[in-house]
Structure 1
Amino acid sequence: MLLLPSRLLSCSGLLLLALLPTAGRAQTNAIPDPQWGTWHIATVVLPGGPKHWGGYAEVQTRANGLFQQYFYTELKGGVSYDLAKNFTLMLAGGRYSTADYRDLSDGPLNVERRLWQQLTLTQFAARLKLEHRYRMEERWYRFRDDVVPAGSSRYRTRMRYRFNTFLPLNHANFTDKTAFLSVYDEVFFNPRGPFFERNRLYAGLGYQFDKHWTVQAGWVNQTNYTPANYRLNVFTPQTSVAKNNVVLSVIYRLGRPATTSPEYVPSQPD
């Protein structure tokens, strides 16, 4: 009964990935950041058990350079419910703090509190594992000295879609002592514009030690898009700023007293 919805969600997600990056690059001034950044992610996951309820908690920090110039932190968590073997709903929230790495003592430039609703579809296509994630976010901001930047506001919404692939290298499935590859692309949509707000492309190598511990190291390119504008009789096209980052992550999966242990893909909840 779930086969048709699964195929529909998969096809719609792949179509979005095929079309939107092309639209985002049209008439866009690209500004690459030559300096690599660093992301650290630590996650604890409670998988859905016999009663289908689970959850997670995560802390994340980011740096403008390689292991230096730290400026950003995330604290977040959520509750999940497994509708079926390959469908999971989640309600989650978090606190996101951005500072000036040159003067951290002044406190954050802005603090965001976020709430989101999420649907995740997982497909086990023989050795290759596929994940489709759909997310709707509500975001509230508090700016330093309560000054709202021009063109911004204290409340925003955003939609996200991520297509993630996993390939075990030394086993057919994810089990103890499994090395694997993970590749994903995630697109961000902003109803206020620019509609195609961000693209995040990731590739990494991971290792699942056992049913509890998984580590990954990889690369992520994050491209942010700003809207085009027309001021003083001068048209400025949409601008994109791209930055490469090294990503280091660790996931600890809590155990469940179940008679059978289903196969889990080592997905990053971020």
Structure 2
Amino acid sequence: MRHRFVLAPGSLLGLLLLLAPAARAQTPLNPAQPWGSWFIGTVQLPGSPEKRWGGFAEVQVRTNALFRQYFYHELKAGLSYDIDKNFTALLGGGRYATSDYRDLSAGPLNVEARLWAQVVLTQYSSRLKLEHRYRAEQRWFSYRDDSTSTRNRLRYRLNAFMPLNAKTIGPKTVFLSVYDEIFLNLRGPVFERNRFYAGVGYQFNKHLTAQAGWIDQANYNLPAFRQGQFIPQNTSAKNNVVLAVSYRLAHRANAARPESLPSQQD
């Protein structure tokens, strides 16, 4: 049985107001950066009550300025298993490359290989849908100067969805999506990154969904002493326009699947 909640009419707005301060907890000390762009394309095979195995494949491209100055891409995929209809586990991996947009011919500045395990818990009310995602990552870096490094990271994301013209998210549904995600690193800085997203989406049919929104991503450095002066922790924040398209496959000869949340894989 799905979880049920009694919600006030302003629940989604209240949740947004609770999450937003985390994305702006510190004032950036570095010069303002230009708006960037994220383009995300995903093919997904969700699990089902009859066939619990699923998976996804995704490509993502980012630009330093709005729709120009390409510098970064991701290629990733994963295998999922529905433990029950509100609890999914996933094992994923990917390749991440960062370049200097001013000299792409020189090759990537660094290439990262990443492996992660995650669990996703979903909660449903009559309108508001909540998704809790917990992820543990292992990361391997190869830099242009032939040096290498490894890092571990923990992530937690709370994602809220609300359909606007229906009670559930399905074909021909307009919906809002808001999430906040924190990134933790035991080697420091412990609070490494905060990512806040707000957007609107439309599910065209049982397969195709598109979203457009805004991401504020803030990276935090470690406090340090330099030349006898204490440099406090500060944040380097960047705003980005996000355009995402997802195509959902279905198992053959499968019964109608319960409501599936259009969450982004990144």
TM-score by length of 1: 0.88
What CA RMSD, in Å, does the superposition of the two structures yield over aligned residues?
Answer: 2.1
Q: Does 1:182 align with 2:182?
A: no
Instruction: Tell me if 1:261 matches 2:257.
Output: yes
The answer as to 2:133 corresponding to 1:133 is: yes
CA distance in 2, matches of 1:2, 1:205: 25
Partners in 2 of 1:128 and 1:22 — Cα distance?
A: 22
**Aligned match of 1:218:** 213
CA displacement, residues 201-248 of structure 1 (integer Å, 9 cap, x when unaligned) = 000010000110000000000000010101331100012111000000
**CA 1:23–1:65: 2 relative to 1, 3 Å:** closer
Q: What is the letter of the counterpart of residue 34 of structure 2?
A: Q
Offset of 1:29 from its aligned partner? 5.4
| DSSP 3-state at the match of 1:203 | strand
Cα displacement string for residues 114-157 of structure 1 (whole angstroms, at most 9, x for unaligned residues): 00000000111111000000000000000002146xxxxx1000
Q: Quick one: distance in 1 between partners of 2:23 and 2:170?
A: 38
Match of 1:236 among 231, 246, 251: 231
Could you give the per-residue CA deviations for residues 166-192 of structure 1, whole angstroms, max 9, x where no partner exists?
000001111110000000000000111
Change (3 A) 1:220 1:22: closer
**Partner of 1:191: helix, strand, or coil?**
coil
Change (3 A) 1:24 1:228: farther
For 2:122 and 2:32, locate their aligned partners in 1 and report how far apart those are by CA, in whole Å: 34
Tell me what 1:64 maps to. Answer: 64
Runs of at least 4 residues off by over 4 Å:
none
Q: Report the alpha carbon displacement of residue 259 of structure 1 after superposing the two structures with TM.
A: 1.8
Q: Is the 8 A contact 1:24 1:196 kept in 2?
A: no
Relative to structure 1, the CA distance from residue 254 to residue 186 in structure 2 (aligned partners, 3 Å threshold; closer, same or farther) is same
Q: Tell me how far apart the structure 2 counterparts of residues 31 and 188 of structure 1 sit (CA, whole Å).
A: 21
Gaps spanning 5+ residues in structure 1: where?
4-13, 149-153
Instruction: Note if contact 2:159-2:180 (Cα within 8 Å) is conserved in structure 1.
Output: yes
Instruction: Specify the alignment match of 2:75 in structure 1.
Output: 75
* Kept after mapping to 2: 8 A contact 1:32/1:242: no
Cα distance in 2 for residues equivalent to 1:33 and 1:88: 39
The alpha-carbon distance between structure 1 residues 2 and 139, as it changes in their structure 2 partners (threshold 3 A), is farther
Q: Matched residue pairs, number?
A: 250
Partner in structure 2 of residue 106 of structure 1: 106
Unmatched 5+ stretches in structure 2: 4-14
- Give, in whole Å, the separation in 2 of the partners of 1:80 and 1:255: 14
The amino acid that maps onto 2:225 is: Y
Task: Flag the 1:207–1:32 CA change in 2: closer, same or farther, 3 A.
Answer: farther
CA distance in 1, matches of 2:245, 2:193: 25
SS in 2 for 1:39: strand
Give the match's secondary structure for 1:105.
Answer: helix
Secondary structure in 1 matching 2:145: helix
* TM-score, normalised with respect to structure 2: 0.89
What amino acid does structure 1 have at the position aligned with 2:261? Answer: V
> What are the within-5 Å matches in structure 2 for residues 73-222 of structure 1?
73-147=73-147, 154-222=149-217
Question: In structure 2, do the counterparts of structure 1 residues 24 and 157 end up closer, same or farther at CA, with 3 Å as the change threshold?
Answer: farther
For residues 22 and 40 of structure 1, the distance between their equivalents in structure 2, rounded to whole angstroms, comes to 21
Shift of 1:32: 5.4
Give, in whole Å, the separation in 1 of the partners of 2:209 and 2:239.
23
CA distance in 2, matches of 1:92, 1:251: 17
Secondary structure of the 2:256 match is coil
The one-letter amino acid of 1:260's match is A
2:102 partner letter? R
1:171, 1:178 within 8 Å by CA — same for their partners in 2? yes
Look up the match of 1:9.
none
Q: Could you say which residue in structure 2 is the equivalent of 1:38? A: 37
Q: In 2, Cα distance between the equivalents of 1:214 and 1:184?
A: 18
